[in-house]
Each structure stands twice: as C-alpha cells, then as structure tokens.
C-alpha cells in the first residue's frame, strides 16, 4: 500500500472506532433523560434506580469516548495538512463551534448532573441531563455540517488557491446534511435501544431478583429500538435522491455497494423484526417471560453498530478520490513528505490506542451490566437509604 492508501486506512479505522462511542452516546443520553424525568414526575424510586444504572453506563461510554475524539483530532495536523491549508477556513468553522459551544457545554452540564445528585433541586437536576442531551445533539449537528461540506462544498468560493466561507447559512441547508443528520440521530436511538434491550434480556434470562427493573427496561429498549430503526431506515432511503444529485457515482463502487447492501439488509431485518415480532410481544410482558428468546436478543445487540459502520463506509468511500468533493483530492490533501514508515507507525499507535479504549469501554460496560443496579456508584446517597423499588406503574 502506498502512503495515500495507508493514510486513508488509518483514518477509516480510527474514525469508525470513534463512531462506535458516538452512536451509543447519542442513543443513551435521551433515554437517561426520559427516565430521570419520569422519576421527577412520579417520584417512583424504581426510575431513580433505572436513571442511575443506565446513566452510569452512559458516563462510562462518554468518558472513554472523549479520548478517542482527541486521537482523531491529531490526524488532521499530522496527515491531512493539505485539507487545513485549502479548506480550513470553511471546514474548521463548524468544528470550532462544536468544540467551543457543544462539547464544553455538554461536559459542564454532565458534570453538574453527575455531582448534583441529592444536591441540586429536582427540576434543575433534570434540566441538566436534558441539556446534556441537547448539547450532544448539537455536537452531532456541527460534526455533520463539517462532514457534509466535504461531501458537497456549498457556501464557499475559491480565492487565492483556497476556499473561503461566503454563506454560513448554506452549510446548514446542505442537501447532504438535511436527511443525514436525523439518520445519524435515529441510528443512535436504535443502538441505545438495543444495548438496553440486550442487557435487560441478559438479566431476565439469568432470573435475577431485579425482574421488575429489567422488565421495564426491556420494554423501553424495544420501544426505543422500534422508533430508532423506523426513522433510521426512513431517513436512510430519503438520502438517496439528494446524494445522487450531488455525487452521481457514489453507490456504484464495490466497497460502497457492499457496505450499502449490508446496512440496508440489517436495517430492514431489524425494523421488521422489532415491528412485527418483538413489539407485539410486549403485550402482557410476553417478551420478558419467554426466556428462550433472550439469548437471541443478546446476540442481536451489535447489529445497529455494524449497520452504523457500514453506513459510514458508504458515505465516505463513495466520494473517492475526493476529500472535498470536486475541489480537493485525497492525494493533494495529504501532508507533504510523509513516508510509509511514518504512516505505519502513527497508524499502529492511533489504532492501538483507540482499539484499547474500545475494548476497555465495552469491558467496563459489560462489567457494570453484570453487576446490575444493586452496585451503582452514580448518584449513591451519602447516607444509608432504602432503594427498594416502589410499587410498579405501567410504562
């Protein structure tokens, strides 16, 4: 492989590893916010335990995901200085907004939420987790704006051999953004729902003492997966027309075609499976009681993540050989003077770090899931308290 192929492969591997963290963050944040809201409205301590348990899993994923994002940033300066020189004034604007506004605010509100248990007023505490969710979605918006500019460089003009920003509003109405953003957000709900569903099925299959807790969680996970898969597939198909208008040959290559086929197959299989099989079994909690189905639910948990990676491969590989479509090729965006040895060394380092973080992330999440809600540090009171579930209320 030459230098260009090695640099592309490095960014593809590290980018996809980072996206695994992102998609789960986008899915779990609104679920935790909804659980906390139900706690504030009903006062049912079962929702407090659910908020703390699933919130701890969210925090684990978020904390480790920060480091994967930092690794991603290094690559722009190391390998793709041509992109910064040619299109940095435009491409860098939404990225700067994502860091200065969305990320910092998200981290601040998350800190207030984590340390605000039993300290902040109830309404203010709930507002913090909703602000975490909104700023996470804002972060996704700015990242997708930057990526959509690479797909279709609207709002810019070339002056003096580089692109300058002429219409800031055009970045947010980019045809390659309009349906892509809700597609990604819906994929997050789909992934978050499947994680909740799979973890709940694990405990129900083991017949743990927390049956009401995980029956309620299983219901939330299936309903979220149903909504997420429905909108993911819908907005996915809605992109075909606008994207084909901008990039007519996007889906014609071997890799984009295979990735697209895999994404569509998983999406439709899961959508119809959840819609016509799993959702009806929520009636009278049949799904929670039929233990023979629980191993299948656990095995299905990775499917949204596989589909998400296939989707990104379709979106990114399909615009080759362009980095900024029609303006800057991948070869021209590469940092001058890079050698195969240098790329290989940085590839091994970056992929190793992100791969290790991904393994640690999933190991910690699996450990937290196995321990169950009885051993959750997040939101634990400073004094002994009775955390037994309150009488059940229907979801």
Looking at the predicted structure, is the pLDDT value of residue 102 above 60? yes
Nearest residue to 199 (alpha-carbon basis) of 68, 365, 34, 46: 365
Q: How far is CA 322 from CA 43, 201, 243, in A?
A: 55, 44, 15
- Residue 14 reports pLDDT greater than 60: yes
Round to whole Å and give the CA distance between 94 and 119: 35
- State yes or no: pLDDT of 104 exceeds 60: yes
Q: What is the mean pLDDT of residues 278-292?
A: 92
Mean pLDDT calculated for residue range 302-322 = 91
Q: How confident is the model at residue 392 (pLDDT cuts 50, 70, 90)?
A: very low
32-81 pLDDT, tens digit per residue, is 999 999 999 999 999 999 999 999 999 999 998 888 888 777 787 788 99
Handedness of CA 243, 247, 251, 256 (dihedral sign): negative
Predicted pLDDT of residue 383: 55
Q: Coil, strand or helix: which one is 255?
A: helix
Closest listed residue to residue 190, CA positions, set 223, 231, 225: 225
- Percent with pLDDT over 70 in the chain: 96
What pLDDT digit, counting tens, does each position of 320-363 carry? 899 999 999 999 999 998 889 988 998 898 888 888 989 999 99
Which helix (H) or strand (E) segment holds residue 156: the answer is strand 156-159
Do the Cβ atoms of 10 and 348 come closer than 8 Å? Answer: no
Using the predicted structure, report yes or no on whether residue 391 has a pLDDT greater than 80: no
Question: What is the per-residue pLDDT across 185-241, written as a single tens digit (0 to 9) for each?
Answer: 999 999 999 999 999 999 999 988 899 999 999 999 999 999 999 999 999 999 999
Phi/psi for 158 (5° steps) reads -90, 125
Contact 216, 395 (CB under 8 A): yes
pLDDT at res. 395: 31
Lowest mean pLDDT among 6-15, 20-29, 108-117, 378-387: 378-387
Positive/negative CA dihedral, 304, 259, 86, 153: negative
Residue 252, pLDDT score: 79
pLDDT at residue 223 in the model: 95
267: which 2 tokens?
Answer: 């999406």
Dihedral, CA of residue 232, residue 305, residue 56 and residue 197, to nearest 10: 70
User: What is the chain's percent helix, strand, coil content, to nearest 5?
Assistant: 80, 5, 20
Res. 393 pLDDT band, cuts 50 70 90: very low
User: Of 22, 11, 122, nearest to 62 (Cα)?
Assistant: 22
DSSP per-residue letters across 290-304: -GGGHHHHHHHTTHH
Whose tokens are 């978050």? That residue is: 192
pLDDT for res 32: 97
Predicted local distance difference test score (pLDDT) of residue 376: 87
**Which of 5-9, 23-27, 182-186 shows the lowest mean pLDDT across its residues?**
5-9
How would residue 258 be classed by pLDDT, with cut points 50, 70 and 90?
confident
Residue 386 confidence (pLDDT): 46
Q: Could you tell me the pLDDT band of residue 394, with boundaries at 50, 70 and 90?
A: very low
pLDDT in tens, 361-387: 999 999 999 999 988 888 887 654 444
Q: If you average pLDDT over every residue of the chain, what do you get?
A: 90
Omega of the bond prior to 321 within 30 degrees of 0, cis? yes
Give the pLDDT confidence score for residue 162 in this predicted structure.
93
């Amino acid at each position: 492989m030459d230098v260009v192929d090695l640099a592309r492969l490095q960014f593809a591997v590290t980018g996809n590893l980072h996206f695994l963290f992102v998609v789960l963050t986008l899915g779990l944040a609104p679920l935790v916010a909804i659980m906390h809201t139900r706690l504030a409205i009903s006062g049912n301590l079962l929702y407090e335990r659910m908020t703390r348990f699933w919130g701890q899993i969210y925090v684990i994923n978020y904390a480790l995901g920060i480091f994967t994002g930092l690794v991603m940033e290094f690559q722009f300066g190391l390998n793709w200085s041509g992109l910064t020189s040619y299109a940095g004034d435009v491409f860098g604007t939404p990225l700067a907004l994502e860091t200065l506004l969305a990320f910092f605010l998200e981290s601040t509100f998350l800190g207030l939420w984590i340390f605000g248990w039993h300290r902040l007023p109830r309404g203010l505490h709930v507002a913090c987790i909703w602000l975490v969710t909104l700023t996470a979605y804002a972060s996704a918006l700015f990242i997708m704006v930057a990526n959509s500019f690479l797909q279709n460089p609207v709002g810019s003009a070339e002056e003096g051999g580089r692109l300058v920003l002429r219409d800031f509003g055009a970045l947010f109405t980019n045809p390659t953004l309009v349906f892509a953003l809700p597609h990604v957000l819906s994929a997050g709900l789909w992934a978050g729902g499947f994680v909740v569903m799979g973890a709940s099925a694990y405990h129900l299959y083991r017949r743990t003492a927390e049956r009401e807790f995980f029956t309620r969680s299983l219901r939330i996970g299936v309903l979220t997966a149903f909504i997420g898969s429905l909108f993911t597939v819908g907005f996915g198909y809605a992109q075909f027309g606008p994207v084909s208008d901008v990039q007519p040959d996007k889906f014609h290559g071997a890799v984009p075609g295979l990735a697209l086929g895999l994404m569509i197959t998983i999406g439709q299989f899961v959508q119809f499976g959840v819609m016509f099989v799993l959702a009806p079994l929520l009636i009278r909690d049949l799904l929670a009681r039929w233990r023979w189905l629980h191993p299948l639910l656990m095995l299905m948990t990775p499917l949204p993540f596989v589909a998400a990676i296939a989707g990104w491969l379709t979106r990114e590989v399909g615009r080759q050989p362009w980095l900024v479509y029609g303006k800057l090729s991948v070869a021209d965006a590469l940092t001058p003077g890079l050698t195969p040895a240098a790329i290989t060394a940085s590839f091994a380092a970056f992929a190793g770090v992100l791969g290790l973080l991904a393994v640690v992330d999933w190991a910690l999440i699996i450990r937290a899931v196995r321990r169950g809600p009885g051993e959750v540090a997040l939101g634990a009171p400073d004094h002994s308290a009775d955390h037994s579930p309150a009488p059940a209320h229907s979801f």
